[in-house]
Structure 1
Amino acid sequence: MTNDPADPKPGTGLDMSNPFSAVPIEITVSVGKARPAIRELLSLGRDAVLPLDRRVDDAVELYIGERLIARGQLEEIEGEDDGQLAVRLTEVANLRDGLG
């Protein structure tokens, strides 16, 4: 292993020579969509249930902006962050070509 600062940190995939590699980005996780009629939407109140087009065990999609970058499964973190949601990636896009 070298100490070249241009080498990525092991296991991170980060190019430390690129000053933008440490800039945080926002990833949106989509669990599904709903298409209610406006009259249904207007009648929603507290404790209403809005059915989505996906099932609990279906894959979720990860987006940066409008671009699909990965798919995965929702998980609950155990231990110190018990109850926090996370996504286990099952399919990752080649960011140059997208996700097929």
Structure 2
Amino acid sequence: MADLGLEDFEDTGPHGGHDDEGDKAAADLAPVFDVPVNISAVLGKSYMSVSQLLKLGAGSVLELDRKVGEAIDIYVNNRLVARGEVVVVDDRLGVTMTEIIKSEDSNS
């Protein structure tokens, strides 16, 4: 079996022909492709009173609302767009996307 790259696939519409409407839509969006967005991967949240917060110091453990192995939330510009799992990439943390959130579900 030969290895295939993205360049081996022709950009076609749903019936195998070129999707001129899709090409036009992509061209119309081209100016937006370089707009920077803020992406956050949230491991979990914690809630406490100000007095509890003031007691925190070096070595304090902040308990989060997530269990080990539970998916983390991925936000783009403070909007929930996906969930994923934490992975190690070389010597850094990364996230493998496991679920894409539909826009009507992402307002939470």
1:62 alignment partner, one of 67, 70, 74: 74
Matched, 1:94 2:89: no
2:36, 2:42 → 1: CA distance? 19
1:46 alignment partner, one of 30, 48, 58: 58
2:93 alignment partner, one of 85, 90, 94: 85
TM-score (norm 2): 0.66
User: What amino acid maps onto 1:53 in structure 2?
Assistant: D
CA RMSD of aligned residues (A): 2.5
2:27, 2:87 → 1: CA distance? 30
Q: How many pairs does the alignment contain?
A: 87
Question: 1:30 deviation in Å?
Answer: 1.1
* 1:22-72 Cα distance to aligned partner (Å, 9 max, x none): 322111111111112222211111111111111231100011233210000
Structure 2 residue runs without a partner (length 5+): 1-9, 12-19
**Structure index of larger Rg:** 2
Structure 1 residue runs without a partner (length 5+): 8-14
1:88, 1:63 → 2: CA distance? 14
TM-score (norm 1): 0.71
Considering fraction of residues, name the structure with more helix.
2
1:36, 1:28 → 2: CA distance? 22
